[in-house]
Amino acid sequence: MKRLEGKVALVTGAGSGFGLGIAEKFAAEGAKVAIVDIKEEAAKAAAHQVGASALGLAADVSKTADVKAAVQKTVDAFGRLDIVVNNAGISHRNRPMLEVDEEEFDRVFAVNVKSIYLFAQAAVPVMRGQGGGVFINVGSTAGIRPRPGLTWYNGTKGAVHLISKSMAVELAPDRIRVCALAPVAGETPLLATFMGEDTPQKREQFINSIPLGRFSKPEDIANAALYLASDEASMITGVVLEVDGGRCI
Ligand SMILES: NC(=O)c1ccc[n+]([C@@H]2O[C@H](COP(=O)([O-])OP(=O)(O)OC[C@H]3O[C@@H](n4cnc5c(N)ncnc54)[C@H](O)[C@@H]3O)[C@@H](O)[C@H]2O)c1
């Protein structure tokens, strides 16, 4: 028996990086998957890559109408919605905190944090109607052990972690579980933004800060998401699971 047989999942930011890895893993384990990304081409290409059980949807996760439409289209296509993975995220480039302007600050909070509010508004009623569901919110080691130069991004991830715990206690009576993942720096297009500059020296400096001695990979994050989304984790809610090679010890 596949671990997500019969489940319907929606994964945001699944046109690339961790989200794509999560969508691929979920589909391989039997889920039907809505792949949501602000880049329409990327969403469609990812859905094509994942196969017949996937649907590619263009949406900006910081926009109410887009989020509502993505949830509605998923339910229309697959008949239900069991798992929402709030993975889409952005950062300002690593630089001194006072150099990040207000517009960029607002955008990082809208994409990383407001999106969770919007998906809760759209998906909780669906899950309540079905008798349960799971949210997995992608936080970061940045929200536990912050690095300099990423102050405002770090703050969004601290918010992701606390919102996940608070949603978990508030939604537990509805049998809706809410967990967060805290990946360490990973091999995705976002990595250069976190490092400030992608040089062999910077890579070495980051890797030296991770006890297991490597960057995380989409498959590492997907394996953790799979466990938390599956019924194997039915007694687990409100955790922030570090997928970090020991970075936060
Ligand atoms: N890569 C890392 O080092 C790392 C470490 C810890 C946490 N994270 C988190 O993991 C998540 C995924 O990051 P990634 O590294 O895979 O990045 P990525 O840039 O490869 O993927 C992010 C995807 O989100 C999409 N996206 C961006 N803004 C969007 C929006 N407004 N609406 C919908 N889609 C949008 C992008 O088009 C992209 O496809 C993010 O939340 C990030 O903060 C990443």
Tell how far CA 45 is from the center of its chain.
19
Tell me how many degrees the CA angle 54-66-219 measures, rounded to the nearest 5: 40
Give the distance (Å) from ligand 1 centre to CA of residue 173. Answer: 31
* Domain assignment of residue 3, yes or no: no
* Domain assignment of residue 1, yes or no: no
Q: pTM, whole model, 2 decimals?
A: 0.99
Tell me what the mean pLDDT of segment 15-31 comes to: 98
Q: Work out how many domains the chain is built from and give that number.
A: 1
What are 181-238's pLDDT values in tens digits?
Answer: 999 999 999 999 999 999 999 999 999 999 999 999 999 999 999 999 999 999 999 9
From 11, 12, 16, 242, the mutation candidate for ligand 1 (largest count of ligand atoms within 8 A of CB) is 16
Per-residue pLDDT at 8: 98
In this structure, which residue's CA is closest to atom 31 in ligand 1? 60
* Domain assignment of residue 249, yes or no: no
* Domain assignment of residue 245, yes or no: no
* Domain assignment of residue 46, yes or no: yes
Give the distance (Å) from ligand 1 centre to CA of residue 141. Answer: 14
Q: How many CB atoms lie within 10 A of CB 246?
A: 12
Percent pLDDT > 70 in the chain is: 100
Q: With beta carbons less than 8 A apart as the criterion, state whether 55 and 78 touch.
A: yes
Which atom of ligand 1 is least distant from the CA of 139? 7
Residue 216 sits in which domain range?
A: 8-240
Determine whether the shortest distance from the Cβ of 45 to ligand 1 is under 6 A.
Answer: no
Confidence of residue 108 (pLDDT cuts 50, 70, 90): very high
Per-residue pLDDT at 219: 98
| CATH number, residue 171 | 3.40.50.720
Give the distance (Å) from ligand 1 centre to CA of residue 1. Answer: 31
